[in-house]
Amino acid sequence: MNAAGFPEQVRRAWAIAKKDIRIYYLKGPVLIFGVFMPLFLFLAFFMGSRQLPLAFLVSGLVGMTLFFTATAVSPAIFPWEGQAKTLERLASCPVTVEAIVFGDMIASLIFGIAVTLVTVIIGLVLGLALLHELTLLAAVLLAACCFSAIGMLLAVPPTNVPSNIMMLSSLIKFPLVFISGIFVPLEQMPSWGLVLAVCSPLTYFTDLVRFAFTDGNYFPVTVDIAALSVFTLVFTAVTMVLHKRTMPKRM
């Protein structure tokens, strides 16, 4: 993408994002894996763990919601479009692969932020105090970018069968949820659990959310933000490179 064409490619990426919003937000797999799945996990955990503070539970719900919603749209878009034979038409337009991927990431990002704001409001209605509003806002924006990049990374395999991607997505996302301090506080994890936890970007986002609600966190805020930033840059760069390699195999 040359410098002169960058603004135009950004506009085309936004057009792709609006198309994704109109077509894919209400798809069954997106609603199931992006909205209902974190809700059911939270309810099951809430009913079995009433002794935990409400702030801990709601922080986990916010973390799961953003993670599942931001990774629910993007993995299935390429397979759906490949199946419908619309990807060839999109690729034949004067739009770069980077713009296509970026547009899908924007759609995932918006979906994740919108649903996550609902869970934050639920926490406030239940009586939780939001102590660090700017920290929470920065954490949600940064994590939404990171998780949407993860979603696009999951869409790299050149298949036109959405169920294959959703199965792969579930195999990767669920282990990340269980090692990220959502159900077990990081302070109570064994040393091997902490080693796994630091490898998950969801760990740092959940830590920031708990800081925003309780003023307590395991890692310093600067470490959480720096880790999320590094994960975001790495996942985005790898996603762009891999999709440029696999795009011709989808045609």
Assess whether pLDDT exceeds 70 at residue 218: yes
Does residue 186 lie within any of the structural domains?
yes
With a CB cutoff of 8 Å and minimum separation 6, the contacts of 76 are 24, 27, 29, 30, 155, 162, 165, 166
Does residue 143 lie within any of the structural domains?
yes
What gap in Å lies between CA 12 and CA 105, rounded to an integer?
13
Does residue 1 lie within any of the structural domains?
no
Query: What is the count of structural domains for the chain?
Result: 1
What gap in Å lies between CA 149 and CA 57, rounded to an integer?
26
What gap in Å lies between CA 148 and CA 112, rounded to an integer?
8
1-53: per-residue pLDDT in tens?
A: 444 477 777 888 888 888 877 877 677 666 676 667 677 766 666 665 556 77
Does residue 69 lie within any of the structural domains?
yes
In this prediction, residue 1 carries a pLDDT of: 47
48-86: per-residue pLDDT in tens?
A: 555 677 788 888 888 888 998 888 877 777 777 766 666
80-109: per-residue pLDDT in tens?
A: 776 666 666 766 677 788 888 888 899 889
Q: How confident is the model at residue 147 (pLDDT cuts 50, 70, 90)?
A: very high
The residue type found at 207 is D
Any idea what DSSP says for residue 86? -
- Residue 194 sits in which domain range? 6-250
In this prediction, residue 142 carries a pLDDT of: 95
